[in-house]
Amino acid sequence: MPIRLALVGIGKIAQDQHIPALQANKSFELVAAVSRSGGIENLPCFADIGDLLASGLDVEAVSLATPPQGRHAIARAALEAGLHVMLEKPPAATVSEVADLAARARDAGVALFATWHSREAASVDAARKWLAGKTLRSARIDWREDIRVWHPGQEWILQPGGLGVFDPGINALSIATAILPEALLLQSARLEFPANRQAPIAAELSLRSGETPVEAAFDFLQTGPQSWDIVVETDAGRLVLSDGGQRLAIDGAEVSAGANEEYPRLYRRFASLVRENASDVDLTPLQLVADAFLLGERIEASPFSF
């Protein structure tokens, strides 16, 4: 029998990614939406998680695609009701919130899946396998995109808890922590905050993976060509992972990859976790962002408006 699932938060990412992935996955039956701003055609829509739980609708799992601020309360209510929970990235507003949810899922005997969709990009697995056993010399992350194109009018991203440029930048950190053979540790950070905002619009991080220096630059004001690239120099050549993990090249030669199925792969993994009553909660990318806020030098930048 398919897992009866409700999708919480019907915004752009839900419309673009979650709904198509769910509709194509026979392990799930999408039975309801939870949103104050829009629903899903031909499905009941509830204003909040409390209304869903009180309705008596037969639901086994929820997938949360809401902004991270306030997500802990939604997930906690679902877990306490015995539902399995999948979390869009970043999994919550703070590291401690996710740790609390992981403990509650364990106590309740249900699945909790903190997802990092960019780890499921087409070439990430191949990059990790190629780097294994190599001597790394340096790595560089460039994650530059136009906030007005990719997040039009999404004020929450630049509010406290919205992560600012780390909302896309955490995707790069999720990939880097998956492909680099040793733990990624922050050394220093420089964060640019618009004078009228509470989250950074740009950031530069210096990190280290073992003895390998790793430099990262994140920019939310990139115009023209956008870039989501990771370059690793090794004793066996240069690895370039581009387009957010979709494309891989070794010393300039393209390595063929399969179809890019980030969200279908996430939902296949979630179905497996639900059947096993198991959890998959990796806090590492969120912890690195928290470390950047702890160590980062704060620079005031020009005011920003959408």
Q: Which positions are annotated as active-site residues?
A: 89
| Structure-token pair, residue 86 | 């999948």
How many Cβ atoms sit within 10 Å of the Cβ of residue 188? 12
**Cα radius of gyration (the chain):** 19
What 3-state class would DSSP assign to 110? coil
CA distances from 248 to 54, 111, 122, 252, 288 (A): 48, 33, 9, 9, 25
Distance CA 4, CA 30 (A): 6
* Cis peptide upstream of residue 225 (ω within 30 degrees of 0): no
Q: Which helix H or strand E contains 214, and what residues bound it?
A: strand 212-219
Token pair belonging to 283:
């806090």
Rounded CA gap, 121 and 268, in Å?
14
